[in-house]
Amino acid sequence: MPANVFLTQGRARQFSALQNYLVPLSQEFTDVEIAQSQRLVNDLLAGKPNILHLKIALFMWVIDCVSFLLGFSSFAGLTPHKKNLVMDFFFDSPVGLLRKGFWGINTLAKLGVYGQSWSYAKINYHLREQK
């Protein structure tokens, strides 16, 4: 595995739990679609500075810390109700950095789903013809 791959095993599991919450369509993923989703995220982040990787990883750790405070578990192990509480905490946070981090993770989660061409029909998206 190349050194600049962001979604390594542990981080990929964390990301998958967040993605399954933020983009429920990802709960139906096959193993191939999971791999494609991770590839899309890894490809996007591959050219970015390592400090950005660190910031995203740190934010995912913060999500798990808040999850532990609310439900004594990582985000992946929380009940749906507690997952809602955690995400509402970040979505509605008066701290701009927490909201920004949440929207960054949300964007990566959506990229991994809606960046796959098979999803276009499911969301009624039609590519425009190139002129």
pLDDT at residue 10 in the model = 92
Domain membership of residue 4 (yes or no) is: no
Tokens 């991994």 map to which residue? 112
Domain membership of residue 130 (yes or no) is: no
pLDDT at residue 3 in the model = 60
Sign of CA dihedral 34, 115, 89, 9: positive
Let me know the angle formed at the C-alpha of 58 by 53 and 61, rounded to the nearest 5 degrees.
130
Distance CA 75, CA 93 (A): 18
Distance CA 125, CA 97 (A): 32
What's the average pLDDT block by block, 10 residues per block, for the chain (131 residues)?
Answer: 80 97 96 96 95 96 97 97 97 94 96 91 82 81
- The single-letter code of the amino acid at 31 is D
Distance CA 79, CA 71 (A): 8
Domain membership of residue 45 (yes or no) is: yes
Domain limits for position 17: 9-118
Domain membership of residue 127 (yes or no) is: no
Domain membership of residue 23 (yes or no) is: yes
Number of structural domains found in the chain: 1
Pair of tokens at residue 30: 């096959």
Domain membership of residue 57 (yes or no) is: yes
- The single-letter code of the amino acid at 26 is S
pLDDT at residue 38 in the model = 97
Tokens 């425009």 map to which residue? 128
Domain membership of residue 28 (yes or no) is: yes
Domain membership of residue 123 (yes or no) is: no
